[in-house]
Amino acid sequence: MTAAVEFDSVSRHFGPVRAVDGVNLSVAEGTFFAMLGPSGSGKTTCLRLISGFEKPTHGVIRIFGQDVSNTPPNRRNVNTVFQDYALFPHLNVRENVGYGLMVKGVGRATRNAKAEEMLALVKLDGFGERKPAQLSGGQRQRVALARALVNEPRVLLLDEPLGALDLKLREAMQDELKALQKRLGITFVFVTHDQSEALSMADRLAVFNHGKIAQIGTPSEIYARPRTRFVADFVGSSNVLPPELAQRLGGAQNWSSLRPEALRLTAADTTALTGTVTGLRYLGAGTRVTVAVSGAELGVLVPTGTPLPDQGAAVGIAFDTSDLHPMEEA
């Protein structure tokens, strides 16, 4: 099966800056694909390379097998939900949603009917007459989504679409987007810097760092077996142990990751690994206790309800050696 989107050693340089640096990736049709990374890691540039707002300096991009090197954005059958939504302020909601059909020469009646249909899909029936300025952030986001989907794109690109929403709305939209993608079966490529968003929504995800893909895989693979220190730290703030410490604790002599929730606090004299509590951060469902051990600081996630140690107390840390995950790369 041809991939929906394929990058063949693609680079995009801005002067001396290598925003995207030799990226290879393949997005299977019908998947929810997330590109995760800190700001400046090249994920948004990758999205813009797919939509055609950027041209690769090197490499080839294929959309459903077709080389799009010479195809301008308006001739690519992909649509984007922009970070700032980019709704046209002089058009009302219905005209905004129908815009893509209008420029393709679809008649007004069909256009309006389709626009209404899409507005119903994003639960904004009856908002057609309003101007974007009269909508809330969440509603604008839905209009942007409807405006993209009305064109029946083969790939939908979403550039941090939930970034401007508050937490509650954000979680609701995450579920809705996911459900919508399942229902429509369109390939979604989703850019985010929020690791929990990427983990919860994506079928597959690529973690970006410095213009390169640090790791690509399913969320559980990436969470459980981070390939590099960067991935371990960025996805789920794992503990990263230097090779010496990992070996002392019974692992391989590699940089290794150890999830905070895999650790348990015990009395100081019952285990080989002991340290001093240097910080406590209450997270609601649990508390992240930072313990200074010789050679590293470890975060331990203590579920709420379990007694907490005092700041400065000596504690022991216990875990299963099997949770110690050696990484391929530093």
Determine the interface stretch with other proteins among 13-21, 88-96, 260-268, 304-312 (rule: CB under 8 A): 88-96
Residue with smaller CB distance to other proteins, 115 or 317:
115
Q: By CB under 8 A, is residue 15 in contact with other proteins? A: no
- Does residue 12 bind other proteins (CB under 8 A)? no
**How far apart are CB 147 and other proteins at their closest, in Å?**
7
Q: Which is nearer to other proteins, 78 or 262 (CB)?
A: 78
* Interface positions, 137-176, toward other proteins (CB under 8 A): 147-148, 151
Nearest to 235 by CA among 288, 198, 280: 198
Q: Which of 89, 284, 303, 305 binds other proteins (CB under 8 A)?
A: 89
Shortest spacing between CB 35 and other proteins, in angstroms: 18
Q: What is the DSSP string of 151-163?
A: T--SEEEEESTTT
In whole angstroms, the minimum distance from the beta carbon of 79 to other proteins comes to 6
Question: Considering only 68-76, 116-124, 228-236, 320-328, which stretch makes contact with other proteins by CB under 8 A?
Answer: 68-76
Q: Site for other proteins (CB under 8 A): which residue of 58, 104, 123, 281?
A: 104
In the block, which residue shows the tokens 């690791």? 195
CA–CA distances in Å: residue 218 to residues 94, 130, 203, 222, 299: 38, 41, 6, 6, 25
User: Among 307, 239, 227, which residue's Cα sits nearest to residue 273?
Assistant: 239
By CB under 8 A, residue 14 contacts other proteins? no
266-271-275-280 Cα dihedral, nearest 10 degrees: -20
115-118 — which CB contacts under 8 Å span 24+ positions?
115/146, 115/150, 118/146, 118/147, 118/149, 118/150
Please report whether residue 53 would count as binding other proteins according to CB under 8 A: yes
- Judged on CB neighbours under 10 Å (0-12, 13-18, 19+), 106 is middle
Q: Determine the residue type at 173.
A: M
200 binds other proteins (CB under 8 A): no
Q: What does residue 103 show for φ and ψ, rounded to 5 degrees?
A: -70, -15
- Chain contacts with other proteins (rule: CB under 8 A): 51-53, 72-75, 78-80, 82-84, 86-90, 99-100, 102-104, 147-148, 151
